Structure 1
Amino acid sequence: MQKLVEQNWDYTKHAKFYEYRPNYAPKSIDMLLCLAKGANQNALRVADIGAGTGNLSIMLLERGCKVVAVEPNDAMREIGIDRTKGQDIEWIRATGLESGLENESFDWLTFGSSFNVMDRNLALKEAYRVLKKGAYFSCMWNHRDLNDAVQKEAEAIITHFVPSYERGVRREEQRSFIEKHKELFDTIVYLEEDFYFHQSLQNYILAWQSVKNPYWDLDTNEGKKLFEAICEEFKKKLPSEFKIKYTTRSWSAKKQ
């Protein structure tokens, strides 16, 4: 079977830990749906690109959307298929750059924490191809509040072990990038919403195992030892339970 996951972004070992991550702020999804819907009174047909284990897809289904979930990683997709059995969703094994979806056939296209793991230039061209004229694409992420006392401590622990630690494109604003492609998408809408997520320290550590980064590879002994050292410090310095402040941030733009 052909391996479709993009180079350096194989989430096979991380898939089972996604349940420990918070989903997007519900009101944010409501507002984005309102934007995408416009005057359309019918159920929206949505392409959820990089659908993972179905977190965003499930929120879209709950809001009456017809979803086509595109996910190249077999482990992630299998969990998503199991979570959405019997619902109005089709799962496709493909990438966000070559989705195989039909031209101009979708009312909305979403990237839930996935826009940063692919070539964004090619991803926008593919989004333009599959969306109807005047339809929106949206990319979104959940960001921890790094000014929160607990998160400051967690960041200090990580940077102690990994001084060069960076979060990459997912933490960057996307407007300037989208504006470079005005021939494809314009009328940019930015939305953010804060929310709090109660987490035990044990589940917080499990959630970190869903994170794919270049600093600790859990498939290697070196990576495992580094992650275990970080977790030991978490256990020493973080409370056993706490609330984490997150912000759902999204950028949307309309097909020209």
Structure 2
Amino acid sequence: MLKKTNAWDYSDQARYYEYRPNYAGRAIDELCAYVHARKAPAYSTLDVGAGTGNLTITLLDRGLQCVAIEPNKAMRDIGIERTNGMSVRWTKGTGEHTGAKPNSAHWFVMGSSFNTTDRRETLKEAHRVLKKGGYFTCMWNHRDVNNDTEQNKIQKIIQTVVPNYNPGVRREGQADVILESKLFNDVYFTEHPQKVSRTMDQYINAWRSVKNTYWDLNTSKGRTTLASIENKIIKTFGANFIFHMVYVTRAWTARVEK
């Protein structure tokens, strides 16, 4: 997940990625069916911006063979360790420059990484590497801040610390930018909620995996801001609280135009 040298450097966040809730299994199953993903060596899936392998592992568990593309060494090293012995090859690359050969992939999938790239350039790259009839997918796992009481309280805590907080592109619809490229058609959207339970420590550690313009473990100010949010969450719910929260996996998929 890297756009510029420092802007999306997740080296300090990498060790906390295991605490992030993974994507809803029903969403992954639906997407695999939609793109006709097959358990065959001839079917090539690129997980672009693979991070530490959260999405990669869900795809491998469904019998797919993957190339996991991730620019950050710290993230990549964890992913390589987690997927040791599985049908995956890890490489260094970005959404804009994957290093994959032209017309080599059936599915170009991005989990929580499309927003960290120049989206238009990434779509050009996806078009370059996808085979005729291939698919592009971008997805995120969103906190249900509107319908989940616990998430709503936490959202209000964040806004007291960061009044101008805006989640940015990751919360926006992606159909327009995909269709505007004129490289893809038939955008298919799906979303699936899932219930996730986390201890307070697990939940706080998940927040430490976040990097944005408001807080960042790389900076003193960022660490102070995040600590303030964490302390308010603990004070509100209690150190031994067990969260039972709703996350929603949202995904946009389009067929390449060739």
Distance in structure 2 (CA, Å) of the matches to 1:28 and 1:94: 26
1:165-212 deviation per Cα after TM superposition (whole angstroms, max 9, x unaligned) = 010100001111112123x10011111101100011111111000001
Q: TM-score, normalized by length of structure 2?
A: 0.94
Report the 3-state secondary structure (helix = DSSP H, G, I; strand = E; otherwise coil) of the residue aligned with 2:247: strand
Structure 1 portions without partners, runs of 5+: none
CA-to-aligned-CA distance 1:9-50 (integer Å, 9 cap, x gap): 110000000010111111111111111117x67453101100
> Offset of 1:225 from its aligned partner?
1.9
Query: CA, structure 1 residues 112+204, in 2 after alignment: closer, same or farther (shift >3 Å)?
Result: same
Listed as ranges, the gaps of 5+ residues in structure 2 are none
What is the rounded CA distance, in whole Å, between the counterparts of 2:216 and 2:31 in structure 1?
A: 35
CA positional deviation for 1:223: 2.0
Partners in 1 of 2:221 and 2:65 — Cα distance?
Answer: 44
Match in the other structure for 2:247 = 246
| Count of residue pairs brought into register by the alignment | 251
SS in 1 for 2:35: helix
Q: Describe the shift of the 1:129–1:58 C-alpha distance in structure 2 as closer, same or farther (beyond 3 A).
A: same
1:157 matched to 2:154: no
Deviations 1:67-124 (A, max 9, x none): 0000000000000000001111110011111111011011111001100000000000
Of 3, 6, 27, the residue aligned with 1:6 is: 3
Distance (Å, rounded) in 2 between the aligned partners of 1:181 and 1:132: 17
> 1 CA distance for matches of 2:55 and 2:31?
12
Contact residue 39 and residue 65 of structure 2 kept, 8 A = no
Contact 1:67/1:89 (8 A) holds in 2: yes
CA distance in 1, matches of 2:199, 2:220: 27
Q: What is the aligned-residue RMSD (CA, Å)? A: 1.4
Task: Give a deviation string over 1:127-177, Cα, whole Å, max 9, x none.
Answer: 011110011111000011102211111111111111110101000011111
2:60 is aligned to 61
Aligned to 1:53, what secondary structure does the other structure show? coil
Divergent runs of 4+, >3 A? 40-43
Q: Note the C-alpha offset of 1:244.
A: 1.0
SS at match of 1:199: strand
Please name the residue that 2:174 is paired with. 174
Structure 2 SS opposite 1:173: coil
Q: Summarize the alignment of residues 1-256 of structure 1 with structure 2, pairs less than 5 Å apart.
A: 5-7=2-4, 8-37=7-36, 42-43=40-41, 44-147=43-146, 148-182=148-182, 184-239=183-238, 240-256=241-257
Once the 2 structures are TM-superposed, how far is the Cα of residue 234 of structure 1 from its aligned partner?
A: 0.6
